Structure 1
Amino acid sequence: MTLTLAQANLVIANAIEKAQELDIRISVSVCDAGGRLLAFGRMDGGHWGAGYGSLGKAVASAGFAKPSGLLAERAAAPIMQGIAQAEGGHIFYAKGAVPIFSGGVLVGACGVGGGTGEQDEECAGAGAAALKG
């Protein structure tokens, strides 16, 4: 299975709904299993730079099939730096993204920027949960 645009937009809508509950302004990126952007949304009033963070975290989460925050402590390791360079420098090893699985298979990731790492991950988790049924 692959993520559809409709599913990606549902993930974004749910992440934004959680951000509204938390009273923060976020950017949300949904990428496919290969880390390529499928859909993006930025809330009114959201900082433009958060978009880069949301995508970089989503790429990290998809690339390693785990929440991006779990990669942060290893970010300075030579292998992690090499992967980031090989990917083009767009990968961020910071809290705020979760992988999306379907039937146990990685299909993408949701990354969020704009709040604290904890808030971003909470919003990303809420977005990804939209596809669980």
Structure 2
Amino acid sequence: MALTLADSNRIMAAAISQAEELNIKISVAVVDAGGRLIGLQRMDGAIWASAYGCQGKAVASAAFGRPSGEMQDRATAPTPAGIRERSGSEMIFGQGAVPIVQGGAVVGACGVGGGTSQEDEQCSAAGAAAL
């Protein structure tokens, strides 16, 4: 099953709602299973760089089917580093994105940037849980 734009909008709204509860300003991205962008939103007042960070973390999470932070310690290992390089260096192996799984398969990921690493992951998890 593929994520739709409506799914993406619901995921992003939930992540932003969580950010509002935490009183932080974020950017949130939703990508499909291949790491291609479906939706991106940047809250008023969120730093511009967060728009790039949330996408990179989401791509890494979708690619490896796990939270992006779990890849942090392996970021310089030959295989993950090689995959990142061959894919255009778009992946960010930092905490803040979670995969979206439906029917046992990774269908995409939600990534967040703008808060602390833990806040970003909390917001992305809230987004993914909205499905």
Find the counterpart in structure 2 of residue 55 from structure 1: 55
Partners of 2:64 and 2:9 lie apart in 1 by: 23
Per the alignment, in what secondary structure is the counterpart of residue 110 of structure 2?
strand
Matches within 5 A, 1:63-74: 63-74=63-74
1: CA distance between counterparts of 2:54 and 2:46? 12
- 2:118 is matched with 118
Runs (5+) with no aligned partner, structure 2: none
Pairwise CA distance, 1:54: 0.2
In the alignment, which residue of structure 2 is the partner of 1:16? 16
Aligned-residue offset at 1:43:
0.3
Work out the CA distance in 1 between the residues paired with 2:73 and 2:31. 23
Residue by residue over 1:7-26, the C-alpha shift from the partner in whole angstroms, topping out at 9 and shown as x without a partner, is: 00000000000000001000
Q: CA deviation at 1:105?
A: 1.3
Structure 1 runs of 4+ aligned residues shifted over 2 Å read none
Task: Report what 1:101 is aligned to.
Answer: 101
Number of aligned residue pairs? 131
Deviation at 1:59, TM superposition (A): 0.3
| Residues 80-91 of structure 1 aligned to structure 2 (within 5 Å) | 80-91=80-91
Please, what TM-score do these two structures have when normalized by structure 1?
0.97
> What amino acid sits opposite 1:85 in the alignment?
E
Query: Unaligned stretches of 5+ in structure 1?
Result: none
Deviation at 1:78, TM superposition (A): 2.0
Q: Which residue of 2 aligns with 1:3?
A: 3
Aligned-residue CA RMSD in angstroms?
0.6
- 1:97 Cα deviation after fit: 0.2
TM-score, length basis structure 2: 0.98
Q: Which amino acid aligns with 2:36?
A: R
1:103 Cα deviation from its structure 2 partner: 1.2
